[in-house]
C-alpha cells in the first residue's frame, strides 16, 4: 500500500480564542508563595510546539512573535512557508510566554507544522527510519494541542505515529503533553493522546473527551485522559501542563539529581505530576466501597479526571523531597516521609516495596507508580510490563502483613482503594481517605513474564497530619498523660493507634514508648 499524506484528518482542538487559566492556576501561586524568587521558571529547558494549520493546506501554524509575550525569546518556525496563527500564539503564551506561562524562563522553542512533523520529523510511513533527532539537546517538553487520526482503514498509521512518539520520548528524554478533544462525550482521537510515555490532558470543567483507547490501538483499553488542568479549551490546558513539566525538569537538572539520565528525568516528571495531582471528593477510580471487593480497583484513574487536577506546587514538593527507592525485600524498606519519589527495577514476576509509618490518622494517602513502554528500534514491536499496586498493614518491620481488601479494611480506611490492578494501563494509583495509624507496606508487583527489566517510577503525597509525634495516641500534638491513659484503655487490644511498636497488641512496650517520647 502506498502511503498518502492526504489520508490524514487533522482537527484542531479549539476553534475560538479564550482565556487559558480562568480562576485556577494549577498550583502556580502556591509555588511562588512558598519559594518566592527561588521558584523555578523553566530556565535551561527548551520546548517543541507542534501545531495544526488553521486553514486546510495552509501555512498558518506559527505564533505571532511580535507579541510582547515572546520578546527576547528564540522561537523558530521550522517548516517553510509559515504564517501566524492565533491558535499557535495562544498555545505558545501558556507554554513559554513571559508573563502568562508557568515557565517564563523557557527561552527557546521550535514550532512545527503537524503535517510536516508527522512525515518529515516523526517519519511516519518511512519503514524502519527512526524519528529525526531533537532540534536541540535541551528540549524536554513537546506540546501537542491538536487531535487527529489517519481515518478508518488506516489505524495502523495511528499506531505507528504513537509508537514513534513513545520511542522519541525515551530516546531523547522528553515528555509529550497531548490534548484531548473538547466537549464532554466527544469522540476521542488516537493522535497523540494515546501515547504511553507522555500525558493526555483534559479540562478542569470536564468538557473534554474521555474513555478507553480503541480496540485498534496498541494495548487497547487504557484510560484517558491522564490529568486535567486549567484552560477554557484543551488546546490551552495542555501547555499549562507542559509549562509545569518544564519547572520540574529545571529542578531535576540540579546537582542533587546529577546521576539521572534525561530519560529518567522525563518519567520522574510524569510520576510527580500525576502523583501530585489534587484528587477532590468527586475523584474515584470506582473501587467498590463495600463487600468482599471493597478497596479493589481494576481501573487506576477517574473516568473524567484522570489522576486528578494539576498541582505544580505539590508536584514540586514531591520531586524535591527525599528519594526513597523501592526494595525487593520488604523488611529492608526504610520508612518513607509524607512526600517523596523513588524508583525500582523489576524483572518478570518481581516485587518491590515501600513502607510508611503513620502515628496519627492521615486524612489523605496517595501513591502512584508509572512505567514506560519500550519500543523496539525497528519500530515494529514493543514490550510492556503489567504491574499491580497493593497496600497492606505490616507488622514486625514488614515481615508480616494484614490484607486490607474487603471487610478487613473497614476499620482501617474510610474510603478509597488499597489495590490497583489494571492489566493494560501503565499507571497504578492508590487513593485513601482517613487512613488509620499504623505501619503500612506498599507492594508493586510485576505479573507479566516478558524478558528484560523495567524501571517503575513512584511518587507519593500523604497528609502530614499522619506524621505527628510518635506516641501521640490522641493526636493532640503532644505526648502527654492523655496518651498514657488511652494506651492503658486499649491495653491488650490490637488498636493500631496505640500499638506503637507494631507487634499487634497494646502492651507495656507501647506505654514505654509513650513515656520515652513524653513531652
- Tell me how far the alpha carbon of residue 289 is from its chain's centroid: 25
Q: What is the pLDDT of residues 140-196, one digit of tens each?
A: 999 999 999 998 999 999 999 999 999 999 999 999 999 999 999 999 999 999 999
Is 189 found in the same domain as 166?
yes
CB 115 within 8 A of CB 4: no
Place 414 in a pLDDT band, splitting at 50, 70 and 90.
Answer: very high
- Mean pLDDT taken over the chain: 92
C-alpha cell at 25: 492556576
Q: Which residues contact 453 (CB under 8 A, 6 or more apart)?
A: 345, 346, 347
> How many C-beta atoms surround the C-beta of residue 193 within 10 A?
30
Domain count, the chain: 3
End-to-end CA distance of the chain: 78
Please state whether beta strands 374-375 and 400-402 pair in parallel, antiparallel, or not at all (unpaired): unpaired
Strand order in the sheet with 454-462: 339-346, 454-462, 362-370, 427-435, 413-416
Helices (H) and strands (E) in the chain, counts: 9, 26
* Domain range enclosing 159: 18-275
Burial letters 124-139, b for 16+ CB under 10 A, else e: bbeeeeebeebbeebb
With contact defined as beta carbons under 8 Å apart, do 343 and 325 qualify? yes
Q: Are residues 450 and 330 in the same domain?
A: yes
**Residue holding cell 507554554?**
95
Q: Same structural domain for residues 499 and 364? A: no
The per-residue pLDDT for range 219-256, each reduced to its tens digit, is 999 999 999 999 999 999 999 999 999 999 999 999 99
- The reply to whether 290 falls in a domain is no
Residue 8 pLDDT class (50, 70, 90 cuts): low
| 3 within domain boundaries | no
- 488 by Cβ neighbours in 10 Å (0-12 / 13-18 / 19+) ranks as middle
Query: In this structure, are 74 and 51 located in the same domain?
Result: yes
Check whether 6 has a pLDDT greater than 70: no
> ω into residue 81 within 30 of 0, thus cis?
yes
Is residue 343 predicted with pLDDT exceeding 60?
Answer: yes
Residue 2 lies inside a defined structural domain of this protein: no
At 417 the three-state DSSP class reads coil
- State the cell numbers at 2: 502506498
Instruction: Report if residue 490 sits inside a domain.
Output: yes
Can you give the three-state secondary structure of 277-303, one letter per residue? CECCCCCCCCCCCCCCCCCEECCCCEC
| 439 and 503 housed in the same domain | no
Number of Cβ atoms within 10 Å of the Cβ of 410: 12
Percent share of the chain, pLDDT over 70: 95
Judge whether 482 and 506 are in contact, CB under 8 Å: no
Enumerate the β-bridge partners of residue 50.
112, 144
Identify whether 4 is part of a domain. no
26 shares its domain with 146: yes
Residue 342 burial (CB count, 10 A) = 22
User: Are 201 and 339 found together in one domain?
Assistant: no
Task: Please report where in the chains the cell 507544522 appears, as a residue.
Answer: 113
Q: Answer yes or no: is 56 within a domain.
A: yes
Q: Are residues 116 and 257 in the same domain?
A: yes
268/134 same-domain check: yes
Q: What is the mean pLDDT of residues 119-147?
A: 97
Where among 275, 306, 340 does a domain terminate? 275
Residues 253 and 391 in one domain: no
Output the domain CATH number for residue 381.
2.60.120.380
Cell triple for 48: 517543541
Give the per-residue pLDDT at 517.
Answer: 78
Question: Same structural domain for residues 496 and 366?
Answer: no
Q: In this structure, what CATH number is given to the domain that contains residue 93? A: 3.40.50.200
Asked if residue 177 and residue 76 are part of one domain, the reply reads yes
Residue 157 lies in a domain: yes
Q: In the structure, what pLDDT confidence band is assigned to residue 23 with cuts at 50, 70 and 90?
A: very low
Q: Enumerate residues 6+ apart whose C-beta is below 8 A from 337.
A: 321, 322, 324, 467
Residue 439 to residues 302, 356, 467, 482, 510: CA-CA distances in angstroms? 27, 6, 11, 22, 14
**Residue 8 within a domain:** no
Closest CA to 460 of 436, 444, 445: 444
Amino acid at each position: 500500500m502506498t502511503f498518502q499524506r492526504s489520508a490524514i484528518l487533522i482537527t484542531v482542538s479549539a476553534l475560538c480564542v479564550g482565556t487559558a487559566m480562568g480562576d485556577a492556576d494549577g498550583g502556580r501561586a502556591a509555588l511562588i508563595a512558598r519559594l518566592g524568587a527561588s521558584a523555578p521558571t523553566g530556565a535551561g529547558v527548551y520546548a517543541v510546539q507542534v501545531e495544526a494549520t488553521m486553514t486546510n493546506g495552509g501555512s498558518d501554524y506559527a505564533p505571532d512573535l511580535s507579541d510582547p509575550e515572546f520578546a527576547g525569546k528564540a522561537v523558530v518556525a521550522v517548516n517553510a512557508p509559515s504564517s501566524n496563527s492565533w491558535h499557535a500564539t495562544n498555545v505558545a503564551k501558556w507554554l513559554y510566554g513571559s508573563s502568562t506561562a508557568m515557565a517564563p524562563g523557557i527561552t527557546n522553542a521550535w514550532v512545527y507544522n503537524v503535517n510536516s512533523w508527522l512525515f518529515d520529523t516523526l517519519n511516519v510511513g518511512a519503514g524502519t527510519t527512526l524519528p529525526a533527532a531533537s532540534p536541540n539537546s535541551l528540549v524536554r517538553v513537546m506540546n501537542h494541542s491538536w487531535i487527529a487520526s489517519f481515518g478508518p482503514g488506516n489505524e495502523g498509521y495511528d499506531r505507528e505515529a504513537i509508537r514513534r512518539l513513545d520511542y522519541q520520548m525515551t530516546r531523547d528524554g522528553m515528555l509529550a503533553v497531548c490534548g484531548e478533544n473538547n466537549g464532554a462525550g466527544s469522540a476521542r482521537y488516537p493522535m497523540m493522546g494515546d501515547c504511553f510515555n507522555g500525558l493526555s490532558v483534559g479540562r478542569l470543567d470536564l468538557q473534554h473527551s474521555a474513555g478507553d483507547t480503541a480496540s485498534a490501538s496498541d494495548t487497547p483499553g487504557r484510560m484517558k485522559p491522564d490529568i486535567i488542568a486549567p484552560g477554557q479549551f484543551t488546546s490551552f490546558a495542555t501547555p499549562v501542563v507542559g509549562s509545569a513539566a518544564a519547572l520540574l525538569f529545571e529542578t531535576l537538572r540540579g546537582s542533587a539529581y546529577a546521576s539521572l539520565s534525561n530519560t529518567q528525568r522525563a518519567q520522574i516528571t510524569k510520576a510527580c505530576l500525576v502523583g501530585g495531582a489534587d484528587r477532590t471528593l468527586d475523584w474515584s477510580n470506582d473501587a467498590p466501597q463495600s463487600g468482599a471487593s471493597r478497596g479493589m480497583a481494576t481501573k487506576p484513574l477517574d473516568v473524567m479526571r484522570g489522576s486528578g487536577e494539576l498541582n505544580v506546587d505539590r508536584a514540586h514538593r514531591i520531586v524535591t523531597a527525599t528519594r526513597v527507592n523501592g526494595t525487593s525485600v520488604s523488611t529492608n524498606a526504610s520508612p518513607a516521609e509524607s512526600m517523596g519519589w523513588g524508583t525500582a527495577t523489576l524483572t518478570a514476576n518481581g516485587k518491590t516495596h515501600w513502607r510508611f509509618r503513620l502515628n496519627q490518622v492521615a486524612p489523605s494517602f496517595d501513591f502512584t507508580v508509572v512505567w514506560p513502554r519500550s519500543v523496539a528500534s525497528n519500530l515494529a514491536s514493543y514490550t510492556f510490563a503489567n504491574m499491580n499496586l497493593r497496600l497492606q498493614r505490616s507488622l514486625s518491620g514488614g515481615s508480616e502483613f494484614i490484607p486490607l481488601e474487603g471487610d478487613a479494611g473497614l476499620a482501617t480506611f474510610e474510603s478509597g482503594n488499597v489495590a490497583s490492578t489494571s492489566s493494560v494501563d501503565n499507571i497504578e494509583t492508590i487513593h485513601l481517605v482517613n487512613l488509620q495509624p499504623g505501619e503500612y507496606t506498599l507492594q508493586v508487583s510485576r505479573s507479566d513474564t516478558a524478558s528484560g527489566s523495567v524501571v517503575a517510577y513512584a511518587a507519593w503525597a500523604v497528609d502530614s497530619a499522619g506524621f505527628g509525634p510518635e506516641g501521640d495516641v490522641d493526636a493532640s500534638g503532644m505526648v502527654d498523660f492523655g496518651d498514657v491513659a488511652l494506651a492503658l484503655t486499649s491495653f491488650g487490644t490490637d488498636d493500631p493507634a496505640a500499638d506503637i511498636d507494631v507487634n499487634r497488641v497494646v502492651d507495656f512496650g507501647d506505654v514505654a514508648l509513650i513515656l520515652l517520647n513524653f513531652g
